[in-house]
Chain A
Amino acid sequence: MDEKLPPPSPEEQEQRLEEERITRRTFLMNVGIALNALVTLALAVPVVAYVVGPVLRRKDYLAWVTLGNASDFKPGETTLVTYRNPFSDPWDGDTANVPAYVRCAEPGNYTVFAINCAHLGCPVRWFSESQLFMCPCHGGIYYADGSRASGPPERGLFTYESKVENGKLMINAGQLPTLRNRASAGPCPGAAVPKTPALVTRIETCPSTESRGTSASTIG
C-alpha cells in the first residue's frame, strides 16, 4: 500500500509552472515556432514573386507591332486601326485586340494615338468633320494633333513610339497607357507648336508645355 502524496499547494504549483517555462519543453516549442516561421518565409518568397510576376516582367511586354503599309495612311487623315496585343494568351479572346488612331499630318509624318482618353482611359472617338476626338465618359475633347481641347484631361492623348521600316508603320505597343506609364505615354503632342495669342491661354494642354489652342492665322 503506497500512500498518496498530498497535492502541491498553490504556491508550489506556481513555482513548478515557473520552472516549466524555462525547461526543455518550452525551448523545443520555441524551436518549433522558429522552424515554422522559417518555412513560412521560404514559402512567402515564391508566393510573393508569383503574385507580383506581372510587375517583374513588365519591361518584356513591349514589342514592335506592324500596323500596315505606311502609304495606306493618307496625309491629313486620321484612321482607326486595330492590332493584336503582342503578348496575349489564347483565352484572351477578342480582348487582345487593341484599337489605335494613326494620324498622318503630312507625308512621312505619322503620329499614333492610343485610344484611351488621358483622363480615365475611356475610348475616344474621332470626328473628322470637326477634327476633334471626343470622349464619351467625362467629356474630354482633343484636337486633331492630340492636344487637349477641353474637359477634364490634364494632358493630350497618349502616343505610341512609332517608326517606318520597309514601308511598314510600326509602333512600340503592349501596355495600357496610363499617366504613370512612361513606356507608352510619349511626349505631349504638339509640344513644338508656336506660342498662341494670350486670348486662348485658358485652354490648357500638357503641364510641361506652353499653352496653345488654335493657330493665330485662322482668326483673321
Chain B
Amino acid sequence: MPEYRKPWYKRLYDWLERRLQLEGPIKEAVLHPVPESTASWWYVFGSASLVLLILQVVTGILLGLVYTPTGADAWNSLQVLNHGLPLGWFLRAMHGWGSNFMVAVVLIHMAQVFLFGAYKYPREFTWILGVFMLLMTLGMAFTGQVLRFDQDAYWGLGIGASIVGRIPWIGGQLVHMMLGGPIINGATLTRFFALHVFIIPGTLLAFTALHVWMVVKLGINEWPMPGRIVRRETYIQEYNELAHTDGIPFVPGAVWKDLVFSAAVIFAVVFCSAMFGPYGPKGYPDPTIINTVPKPDFFFLWIYTVLSYLPAEMETPFILIAPVVAVAILVALPLVAGIGEKSWWRRPVAVSSVMFIAVCFGVFTHLGTYTPWSPQMNAWSGAVVPVEYLQRRSPLERQGANVFQEKQCRNCHAIGALGGMRGPALDDVAARLTEDQLIRQVLLGGGNMPAYGSALTPAETTALVSFLKTLRPHYRPTASDASRQVVGQAALPPSSTMQPGGGQTAVH
C-alpha cells in the first residue's frame, strides 16, 4: 500500500517506529517460542505479581496526592481519605488489599517455582533476584503498615527498634538510624515514607525489569518430567529443541491464561476493597494512650507468634541468626542444587519442606489471630463469673471469687470459657491441685505464673483458695495428696492401684 493511502494512525505509528525502533525487540520477546507445556494455569503467578505491582504503583501514586507524611497529620490525612474525599476510602482499600494479594501471589509464585525446579540451571540468578524481590515485597508491606501511622504502626516501630537494638555492638546506632532520631516521631515517619515511596519500590522495579528480562532471555521453565535430568552441558540444547519442536509462540499461545488470571486477581482486589473497605487507620498515634493492643498485619502475624513462644534465652540469637540463615539458604539453593531432577515426584525433601513451611505458617498465623499468650487486659472487669460457680457457695468462697476477679487472675486464667488463655483454664483446678498446691502456686507462682505473695493478704489468699477448691466438675474427685494419706492413715487410699510395698525394690 502506498504511504499516502495508509490511515493516519498507521502513518503515525510508522513515523514513531522509524525513530524508536522498538518493534523488533518487542516482537522478538512476545513471539519467542515456549514449550507448549508451559502454557499452563500453574504458570500465571509471576505475571499476576507483576500486574499487582503495577496496581500498587498506580494506587500508591494516587494516595500520594493526598497523604501527608508528618507525625502530626498522617493519621488525619487518612481520615480525610476515608471520609472526606469521594472514593478516597476505595483507593486506600485497593492499595491495602492489593498489598495483601501481592504478598500472597508472590509467595505462591515462589512455591510454584521451587516445586517445578525452575530455579535450576540456567535460571539460578533469576531465583536469587526473586529472593531479594520477595524481601522487598515484605519490606513494602511493613513500611506500608508504618505509613498508616496508627497505634499499631507506632508500637510496630517500637517492636522493630527493639529487634534492631538486640544486634551486638552497633544495635543502638542502628536504632537511631532506623528511627531517624532517638525516639519514634515525625522523623521516623518521613524515613519510612522515603523507604516506602522511593527507595524500596525503585529498587524493586529495577529488579523486576531484570527478572523479567531473564525470563524472556532464558525461556520459561519447561514442565518438569520425572527422569528428565538437568545437566549443564546439554540443558540449553534440550530446552531449545523442546521450545522449537514442541513450542508455541508466547503470544498468544501462553499469554491468554496470564491475562485471564491477572484480570481475575484484579477483580478479586476490587471485590475485597468494595466489600471489606480499607484497613484502618486504627487508634490515633498518641503513645500516651496505652490502652492499646498492638498487632501486626496478617502476613507478619506468624512472626508475632514465634516471638512470644521463643524462650527468653533463645530470643536474641534466634531473632538475629534465623533471618540471615533463611536468606542464605534461599540464595544458596540454586547454587547448591542447580542441576538434577526438577520433578516434584523425585524431590520428596523439597515437597515436604514446602508442606512443613506452609503448615507452620498456617498454624502460627492462626495462633496470631487470637494470641493465647497475651493476658486479656479487660477480662478481670469484663468477664462475668458463671452463676453456677457462685450458687450454694459459702460467703468465704464467694469472697474468693471476688478476689479472683479483682486481682486480675482472670486476665490469664479462663473460667466458663471466658478470660485469658495465658495460663490454664481453672474450671477443673480443684481436681488437679490440692489445697496445699493451690496455696503454693498462688503465693510463689512458677511455671509461667508470677508470684502473688506480695499482692495478697493472708485473708485474701484464704478466700481465693477456698473459691478455687470449689472449681471442679461434679464427676471428678477432688485432688488428693497420696503421700499425705499414706502417712496419715498408714494405708493406701482405697482408689489406689498400687500394690502395698510395690514401690520398694525387692531384695533377694
- Chain A residues in contact with chain B, CB under 8 A? 51-52, 54-55, 58, 61, 80, 82, 85, 87-99, 115-116, 119-125, 127, 129-132, 134-139, 141, 143-144, 149-154, 174-176, 178-182, 199-200, 202-204, 213-215, 218-219
Contact B185 A92 (CB under 8 A): yes
State A125–B293 Cα separation when bound (angstroms): 11
Given A129-B408, A213-B451, A215-B454, decide whether A123 and B290 contact each other with a Cβ distance below 8 A.
yes
State A53–B309 Cα separation when bound (angstroms): 37
Determine if B202 is an interface residue (Cβ-Cβ < 8 Å).
no
Listed residue (B72, B183, B290, B452) with the most chain A CB atoms within 10 angstroms of its CB:
B183
Partner of B72 from A85, A87, A93 at Cβ < 8 Å: A93
Per-residue A-contact encoding for B362-388, CB less than 8 Å = 1, 0 else: 000000000001110100100000000
Partner of A54 from B70, B180, B285, B293 at Cβ < 8 Å: B180
Interface majority SS on A: helix, strand, loop or mixed? loop
Determine if B139 is an interface residue (Cβ-Cβ < 8 Å).
no
State A130–B380 Cα separation when bound (angstroms): 11
Contact A176 B287 (CB under 8 A): no
Please give me the residue from chain B that is nearest to A51 by CB atom. B177
State A95–B69 Cα separation when bound (angstroms): 13
- The residues of B that contact A125 with a CB separation of less than 8 Å are 290-291, 377
Contact A138 B185 (CB under 8 A): no
- How big is the B interface, by class? 35 or more
- The residues of A that contact B154 with a CB separation of less than 8 Å are 95
Determine if B432 is an interface residue (Cβ-Cβ < 8 Å).
no
**Shortest CB distance A183–B (Å):** 8
Determine if B52 is an interface residue (Cβ-Cβ < 8 Å).
no
**Shortest CB distance B124–A (Å):** 32
Listed residue (A119, A123, A203) with the most chain B CB atoms within 10 angstroms of its CB:
A123
Contact A92 B443 (CB under 8 A): no
- The residues of B that contact A214 with a CB separation of less than 8 Å are 443-445, 451-454
Given A52-B177, A132-B455, A202-B446, decide whether A89 and B186 contact each other with a Cβ distance below 8 A.
yes
Determine if B134 is an interface residue (Cβ-Cβ < 8 Å).
no
Determine if B288 is an interface residue (Cβ-Cβ < 8 Å).
yes
- The residues of B that contact A204 with a CB separation of less than 8 Å are 312
Contact B182 A130 (CB under 8 A): no
Contact A152 B71 (CB under 8 A): no
Task: For the A-B complex with A149-B451, A213-B445 known, give 18 more contacts whose Cβ atoms are closer than 8 Å.
Answer: A55-B176, A85-B185, A91-B186, A92-B72, A93-B70, A127-B380, A135-B375, A137-B155, A137-B159, A138-B307, A139-B373, A154-B315, A175-B182, A178-B164, A181-B165, A214-B443, A214-B453, A218-B453
Looking at B84-92, B166-174, B223-231, the stretch in contact with chain A turns out to be B166-174
Determine if B163 is an interface residue (Cβ-Cβ < 8 Å).
yes
Please give me the residue from chain B that is nearest to A143 by CB atom. B450
Per-residue A-contact encoding for B314-343, CB less than 8 Å = 1, 0 else: 011000000000000000000000000000
Interface majority SS on B: helix, strand, loop or mixed? loop
- The residues of A that contact B181 with a CB separation of less than 8 Å are 54, 61, 87
Contact B307 A152 (CB under 8 A): yes
Please give me the residue from chain A that is nearest to B188 by CB atom. A95
Please give me the residue from chain B that is nearest to A200 by CB atom. B444
State A143–B451 Cα separation when bound (angstroms): 9
State A176–B313 Cα separation when bound (angstroms): 23
Contact A87 B182 (CB under 8 A): yes
**Shortest CB distance A74–B (Å):** 18
State A87–B182 Cα separation when bound (angstroms): 9
Determine if B394 is an interface residue (Cβ-Cβ < 8 Å).
no
Contact A150 B287 (CB under 8 A): no
**Shortest CB distance A52–B (Å):** 6
Contact B286 A150 (CB under 8 A): no
Partner of A178 from B161, B288, B411 at Cβ < 8 Å: B161
Please give me the residue from chain A that is nearest to B311 by CB atom. A152
Determine if B310 is an interface residue (Cβ-Cβ < 8 Å).
yes
19 residue pairs A–B, Cβ–Cβ below 8 Å: A92-B187, A93-B71, A94-B284, A95-B186, A98-B287, A98-B288, A121-B158, A130-B407, A131-B455, A136-B374, A139-B422, A141-B450, A152-B315, A179-B162, A179-B166, A180-B172, A181-B172, A181-B175, A213-B453
Given A181-B172, A218-B454, decide whether A151 and B448 contact each other with a Cβ distance below 8 A.
yes
Given A120-B158, A139-B374, A215-B453, decide whether A61 and B408 contact each other with a Cβ distance below 8 A.
no
Contact A88 B374 (CB under 8 A): no
Given A55-B173, A129-B406, A152-B315, decide whether A134 and B411 contact each other with a Cβ distance below 8 A.
yes
**Shortest CB distance A128–B (Å):** 9
Determine if B179 is an interface residue (Cβ-Cβ < 8 Å).
yes
Please give me the residue from chain B that is nearest to A213 by CB atom. B451
Determine if B294 is an interface residue (Cβ-Cβ < 8 Å).
yes
Contact A130 B452 (CB under 8 A): yes
Partner of A120 from B159, B184, B406, B443 at Cβ < 8 Å: B159
**Shortest CB distance A199–B (Å):** 6
Please give me the residue from chain B that is nearest to A123 by CB atom. B290
Contact B287 A99 (CB under 8 A): yes
**Shortest CB distance A25–B (Å):** 29
**Shortest CB distance A83–B (Å):** 9
- The residues of B that contact A134 with a CB separation of less than 8 Å are 375, 377, 408, 411
Please give me the residue from chain B that is nearest to A212 by CB atom. B451
Determine if B485 is an interface residue (Cβ-Cβ < 8 Å).
no
Determine if B245 is an interface residue (Cβ-Cβ < 8 Å).
no
Partner of B308 from A89, A132, A137 at Cβ < 8 Å: A137
Contact A131 B373 (CB under 8 A): no
State A92–B180 Cα separation when bound (angstroms): 12
- The residues of A that contact B180 with a CB separation of less than 8 Å are 54
**Shortest CB distance A11–B (Å):** 34
Listed residue (B73, B163, B175) with the most chain A CB atoms within 10 angstroms of its CB:
B175
- The residues of B that contact A143 with a CB separation of less than 8 Å are 450-451, 454
State A213–B158 Cα separation when bound (angstroms): 28
- The residues of A that contact B293 with a CB separation of less than 8 Å are 136-137
Given A121-B158, A181-B175, decide whether A92 and B186 contact each other with a Cβ distance below 8 A.
yes
State A13–B446 Cα separation when bound (angstroms): 87
Determine if B449 is an interface residue (Cβ-Cβ < 8 Å).
yes
Given A137-B308, A180-B171, decide whether A218 and B443 contact each other with a Cβ distance below 8 A.
yes
Given A55-B177, A121-B159, A179-B166, decide whether A89 and B290 contact each other with a Cβ distance below 8 A.
no
Listed residue (B72, B179, B291, B449) with the most chain A CB atoms within 10 angstroms of its CB:
B72
Partner of A136 from B163, B165, B294 at Cβ < 8 Å: B294
